[in-house]
Amino acid sequence: MAAPSASLPTLPRQRPHPFDLPDEYAVLRAEAPISRFIWPNGVEGWLVTRYEHIRTLLADNRFSIDRAGNRPPSLAIGRKPVMMPRSLVAMDPPEHTKWRRLILRDLTPGKARALEPRIEQITREYLARMREQGPPVDLLSALAFPVPSRIICELLGVPVDDHEFFQRQTHIRSSVASTPDEVDEATIALTEYLRHIVAEKLRRPGDDLLSRMGQSTVDGEPVDPEYMVGMGMLLLLAGHETTASTIGIGVAHLMGDDALIGRLRTTAGAERLVEELLRMHSIIQYGVVRRATEDVEVGGVRIAAGEWVTCLLASGNRDESIYQCPHRMDTEQPRVPHLTFGYGVHQCVGMSLARVELKVVLRELFGQWPDLRPVRPVDELRYRDDMFVYGLYELPVRW
């Protein structure tokens, strides 16, 4: 590949409002939907901003998710590659297909719906603690983060008391401000912890995802414990922070909007509202990265073998040619599947669980406090512009 070009534009990152996207996205969708950019770490890559092109690219197996031996575009400067146990986010088909199937047995829409009573119970427990504490309360630390953490720990069979440990390590790994050594230390801590958990599951299996994985076979062979560690780490890291951040920014958006909050009173209304929240607030704010394994043409643009491509899911979700009301939350507009969970074979395995968690938490929260309001205007709060996962640093509320 050619040396980085200093003449290339840098990634647009400035939001005019915390709920809006950089203005440049709309210009790119209209004028240059597949264009070259240079990222903060100096790596060049293609930026894809239109809905149709994103879906086309993510459905094409000639674009690989595997980053091994290649430095991808990143917001983090000077970060070295960290060796992690292998998981779905480093696998392409056909390897990816069999391992995804193994995990999906516990994450089907039906299994997620069956967890709704337990999610409701846990949510009410944290709401009771909030009521006992009294306002003001930081909604993120009091509700948005602990509920998904508890659920994913129970699903995996990991001690619930350790969920704060996972939150802390996840924050370090996802923060652009973390040093390479800090990221290494967090990754090693998580890996060693999960190795211990996996060893226990193999000795004394229980009724949980990791235990069932340990008793399974792939291609006629027992599952390698290191694969169990990798899959466990993926689900722990992805299974709480993304959902928690969506809960936080979703609550910030809904407070004071009686019409939208009213949609939570019915199952159909709540589910439609959750989909609009997910579309409007794609918290993987700088998209998903792929690498071309051969020359490919997309939208009339030739992408050469070895080149990086970043699909801006958030931009695709605001595509004016696809959505009737792209820049505001409208539960009545014609429904078009959003891209927040990705598309194609790598679509998020936990999306059904995330949907149920969002629905239950929002329904229970606003059911108890329909007049919930922020202590300060939401546009004055601190947002995680420096994180791979967008959201709030804190959300102080009162009722």
Residues 155-168 pLDDT 10s: 999 998 887 787 78
Q: Is the pTM of this model over 0.85?
A: yes
What's the confidence (pLDDT) of residue 290?
96
Dihedral (CA of 250, 252, 255, 257) sign: negative
Let me know the angle formed at the C-alpha of 392 by 387 and 396, rounded to the nearest 5 degrees: 155
What's the confidence (pLDDT) of residue 60?
97
Identify the structural domains of the chain with CATH numbers, from first to last: 24-398 (1.10.630.10)
**73 phi/psi in degrees, rounded to 5:** -60, 140
Let me know the angle formed at the C-alpha of 283 by 280 and 284, rounded to the nearest 5 degrees: 125
Amino acid identity at 373: R
Decide: 64 and 293 in contact? Cβ < 8 Å: yes
Q: Which regions of the chain are under pLDDT 70?
A: 1-6, 76-84
DSSP string for residues in 81-149: P------GGG--TTHHHHHHHHHHTTSSHHHHHHTHHHHHHHHHHHHHHHHHH-SSEEHIIIIITHHHH
Tokens at residue 74, please?
A: 């990143």
What's the confidence (pLDDT) of residue 262?
96
What's the confidence (pLDDT) of residue 5?
55
Task: List the strands of the sheet with 34-38, edge to edge.
Answer: 34-38, 44-48, 308-311, 288-292, 63-64
